[in-house]
Structure 1
């Protein structure tokens, strides 16, 4: 289980005069600080998939980076199966599998070598890695390109390798920032099937997306963030009932 309570994060603005008119009108701008995340709370239980929704610039990515310990919150708390993420970030990182929206690969390394490098960082033995990489290659359909250099990979190939790298250590919680963006239909279905597999294993999955069909297909619960505040937390059923079953209208209703 992962539980987030009252997360907040602000960033200093070096020169407010250079901000766009839209940025200057954002109520989160207070003096020389922009409060990207103001007050976000939600929880994801074992075996649940939580869809994190919100307009561009709502604070979703900042929230996910705080969950992954890449950013330290100014306020709030994050607990994973009883571990305080903020107080024990090194321990927490062993429990978390995180795919950033901007995750890159080492182009001169093969797909296998990219994954193996991260496996070694997590202290995984060579024997364990050999078994794990075969399992991941099957699940993510990577056998045909796993031993090619990453620099010439398609977007889908890169994303599959990045996902495998994020979960090679068998984390207790998986956090995915827009994992299907830019993927073709076949690659998207492979990623969605992989998420279903994590769910069957009882692993909580949090993923942000702009594709409401993915939410309908995968999610048990939904959190909507707008202007740095969680505006809706609840089951997919309750979310859809905000607008008589239409997820698009429910989303718009939740951010009014």
Structure 2
């Protein structure tokens, strides 16, 4: 018998883990929730609309997943702290976000506040709240974007918000690492979702986007699911402070 000891791949499974996913009623958030549940986690869905959440919860429960839901506006920081003060999660997916693409000189104060309050302020303080009770081995996954790493016309505000998320995630990784908590960003290219669908109805926009993606196609929500489970699981146990690009090669230019 050989005396060679062979290494084993760390598990991608998430049994026994509790996950919190924001913006979970549709699009990327729904896909994230399903990915974690399929990997064995118990998932708490968070979104503003209780009826939409209940529809998702019922469908996931019917599929055999362990899931509950919490109707919550994550920009209401006091409500977030009240709702989560006694709960502990192993995984946080900070997915809720928004975009108001406009030329630089058309961005209003309201546009700025809307995007930054959700994409940065709410994400920051939700991570703070969850981290206080997150056990060692926990994983914070902030849903960023390729636009946190590149610039684009009509997206100064969105790029600013995602660049801020990249910076705060790196700092979280440094600060939380000593207590065993990892923090990373997941950075998709354009993914076809209800939020992005109106953009692709504009003449020529789809072709402009595809011209910048070497793989030659838009993202689908399924493209995010595997990378998300990787970042949530023991398979990425030494990955922290990183940005995982899921952009078809956009940022490789």
> Considering the TM-score relative to the shorter chain, is it more than 0.5?
no
Q: Looking at secondary structure, tell me which structure has more strand per residue.
A: 1
* TM-score between the two structures when normalised by the length of structure 1: 0.33
* TM-score between the two structures when normalised by the length of structure 2: 0.33
Higher RCO (C-alpha 8 Å, min separation 6): 1
Q: Looking at secondary structure, tell me which structure has more helix per residue.
A: 2
